[in-house]
Structure 1
Amino acid sequence: MRTLAHPTSDEIQIDAVLSALADPIRRRIVTQLADGHDDQACIAFELPVSKSTSTHHFRVLREAGIIEQHYKGTAILNTLRSGVLHELFPGLLDAVINAERKEARRTSLPEPATAGFSGH
C-alpha cells in the first residue's frame, strides 16, 4: 500500500504553516476542506490551476502539516488536520478560514456603479 509522508504534530512549525497559508489557492483548498466532509479527493476541488500545480499545492499543505493525505485505490483523499492545528496554534486556522470566506464574499460581489462619480 502506498503512503505519503506527514509531519508529526511535534514537527509542525508555525513558519511552514503560515508560509503554506499565504497562498490564495491553498487557502481555498483549506476552506473547502473545512466546509466539506473529511476525505475529499483532489479531483473534487475546482481550482484555476493546472493539475501539476494543484498537486504542488496539496503537497505544500501536507508537508506543512495542514492536511493529511492517503490513498484509496488510485485517488488521494485529503483531510484537514484541524484538531492538531487547533492544539498547536489556537485560533489560527479559524481566523484564516473566516478571513478567506469573507474575502470570497467580498470579491464575488458585483462592482458598485460608478456612473456620475467625479472622485471629489
Structure 2
Amino acid sequence: MPRTLPEPSVDSFDLTVILSALADPGRRALMTALFRSSEPVDCAVIVEEADLGLSNPTISHHYRILREAGLIRSVADGRKRIVRVRREDMETRFPGLLQAVLGGH
C-alpha cells in the first residue's frame, strides 16, 4: 500500500532551509527536472533524465533533503518512489520562488 513519506507543513516552511536545499547543484538539477514535469514521476526516471553521475546513496540523500525542506512530496510504493514538486504549497508560502529559481533553467 502506498504511503506518503514525512514532510513539513506549509506553515513550517523555512526559506533558509529551502534555499540551502536548492544551493546544491545536484539537488537543483533534480528539482529543475521535477519542476518541468507537471505530473508525479518515478524518482528513478528523473535521475536518468538529469544524468548527474552520482551514486544511488547520494541521490537518495538529495531526495531526502528536498523532501525535508518541503520542496517535494514522496510516496513510497514498495521499492518505488513517486515524487512531485509541492508547487501549490510553495506558491502559497513563497509566491514565485520556484519559478524564479528553477523556471529559467
Instruction: Give the match's secondary structure for 1:26.
Output: helix
Aligned structure 1 segments of 4 or more residues deviating by more than 3 angstroms: none
Question: CA 1:92–1:3 in 2, change beyond 3 Å: closer, same or farther?
Answer: closer
Which of 83, 96, 113 is matched with 2:88 structurally? 83
Partner of 2:60: 55
Shift of 1:86: 1.0
RMSD of aligned alpha carbons: 1.4
Partner of 1:73: 78
Instruction: Give the match's secondary structure for 1:60.
Output: helix
Structure scoring higher RCO (CA < 8 A, sep ≥ 6) equals: 2
Instruction: Give 1:75's aligned amino acid.
Output: K
Instruction: Give 1:51's aligned amino acid.
Output: N
Gaps of 5+ in 1: 102-120
Counterpart CA distance in 1 for 2:71 and 2:61 is 14
* CA displacement 1:9-40 (0-9 Å, x = unmatched): 11111111000010111111111111124221
Identity of aligned residues (%): 40
